[in-house]
């Protein structure tokens, strides 16, 4: 009923940029984050890029008094970097690792090794079931020539599907993380349109922080200023999204971002700004049987746009699969020719000339290396083609359903 008390929930979300041996002043910043969280007393803390389990363990020990419940999501070679700290008991957890996450040969970016994922924790607070999701999608790196856009769209699609299919028993859905997408990008529009999630920044009654809610700003001493040249105010890629289901309502009373240096220090928490939301959750009337994510009437256009981008990525992946397969075949033919030459020498043919053992061995090793590398790339791009094709098919089915039943939106 409307007279029932309101639950007030304070949420802290941050990409910590805590890459061991690479991130500047990592240990100092992790300690600073822990000290601040102890002082502020949030209800729920969602962190990304906590790549070191040692950093997580230190945070867990420091925050045990204020946030007695926590979970670290493990995946990939390095890990997902995702963790959650809570004042309330965590009833259940689940991790889903995205099917596509960059390329293993793009070592300078390293996303493929990180096992980008979405983590789910289920909590019950004052009788309300919360599904809380934390995630980190693939970085953009170059907006003009975004080679990872198809992969990020697949991740956004899988994230939306994961939320829809795991939140049916929840009363409230919360999502926090570094989505690496601008608010107007097709991926974020697809995610919000398909799940019905609301943007805390857009819905907040009060806002305090960086202009336009930006979370990657030039004033931060750790950001790469060259990447932000087209965006003098910065960009907003970190989000807190929410959705009430059935008889509950959620309102964002206040949203804040940090604005550079942490209080009392000369450094920020991270190269990203933290996002802090204060939400009010209240039961309203009798359960109406509402479901998550009633489709937006304009969703069909968004899905069509996303499907076109995924289709472009599929064509590029097929071309890369063909190129790597052809290279593997050529390397195999070269090895067969060398084997034939070696057999001819052993049989006594061409014995009047000395056999160039050194150059023959070097060429054989080179051909073998190319064969192994090209075969590996061919297998990887074959899997990429399957994942992109599968996502394209799912989007086509969804698009057809939306077009056939527009009134259900």
Task: Spell out the SS3 assignment of 124-150.
Answer: EECCEEEEEEEEECCCCCCCCCCCCHH
CA 34 to chain centre: 23
d(CA 314, CA 147): 12
Strands 248-257 and 7-18: unpaired
Q: What is the Cα–Cα distance from 122 to 384, expressed in whole angstroms?
A: 32
Q: Are the beta carbons of 148 and 140 closer than 8 angstroms?
A: yes
Helix (H, G, I), strand (E, B) or coil at 268: strand
Can you tell me which residue has the tokens 């600073």? Answer: 32
* Residues annotated as part of the active site: 272
Query: What's the token pair of residue 105?
Result: 């040969």
Radius of gyration of the chain (CA): 25
Distance from CA of residue 190 to its chain's centroid? 15
> Distance between CA atoms of 249 and 247, rounded to whole angstroms?
7
Of 91, 87, 93, the closest CA to residue 7 belongs to 87
């Amino acid at each position: 009923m409307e007279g029932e008390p309101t639950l007030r929930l304070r949420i802290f979300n941050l990409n910590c940029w805590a890459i061991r041996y690479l991130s500047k002043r990592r240990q100092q910043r992790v300690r600073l984050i822990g000290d601040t969280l102890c002082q502020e007393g949030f209800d729920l803390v969602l962190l990304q890029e906590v790549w070191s389990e040692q950093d997580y363990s230190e945070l867990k020990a420091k925050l045990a008094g204020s946030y007695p419940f926590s979970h670290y999501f493990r995946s990939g070679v390095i890990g997902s970097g995702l963790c959650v700290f809570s004042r309330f008991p965590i009833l259940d957890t689940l991790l889903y690792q995205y099917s596509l996450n960059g390329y293993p040969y793009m070592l300078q970016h390293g996303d493929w090794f990180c096992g980008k994922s979405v983590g789910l924790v289920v909590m019950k607070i004052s009788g309300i079931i919360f599904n809380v999701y934390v995630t980190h999608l693939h970085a953009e790196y170059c907006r003009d020539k975004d080679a990872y856009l198809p992969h990020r769209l697949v991740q956004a699609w899988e994230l939306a599907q994961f939320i829809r299919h795991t939140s049916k028993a929840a009363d409230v859905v919360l999502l926090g993380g570094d989505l690496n997408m601008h608010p107007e990008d097709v991926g974020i529009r697809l995610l919000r349109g398909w799940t019905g999630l609301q943007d805390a920044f857009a819905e907040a009654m009060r806002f305090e922080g960086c202009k336009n809610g930006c979370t990657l700003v030039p004033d931060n001493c750790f950001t790469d200023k060259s990447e932000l040249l087209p965006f003098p105010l910065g960009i907003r890629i970190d989000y807190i999204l929410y959705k009430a289901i059935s008889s509950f309502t959620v309102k964002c009373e206040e949203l804040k971002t940090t604005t550079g240096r942490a209080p009392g220090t000369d450094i920020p928490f991270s190269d990203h700004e933290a996002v802090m939301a204060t939400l009010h959750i209240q039961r309203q009337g009798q359960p109406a049987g509402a479901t998550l994510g009633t489709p937006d009437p304009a969703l069909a256009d968004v899905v069509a746009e996303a499907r076109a981008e995924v289709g472009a990525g599929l064509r590029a992946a097929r071309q890369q699969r063909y190129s790597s397969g052809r290279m593997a075949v050529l390397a195999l033919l070269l090895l067969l020719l060398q084997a034939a030459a070696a057999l001819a020498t052993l049989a006594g043919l061409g014995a009047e000339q000395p056999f160039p053992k050194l150059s023959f061995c070097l060429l054989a090793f080179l051909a073998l290396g190319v064969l192994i590398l090209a075969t590996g790339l061919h297998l990887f791009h074959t899997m990429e083609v399957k994942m992109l094709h599968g996502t394209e098919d799912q989007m086509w089915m969804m698009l057809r359903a939306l077009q056939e039943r527009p009134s259900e939106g």
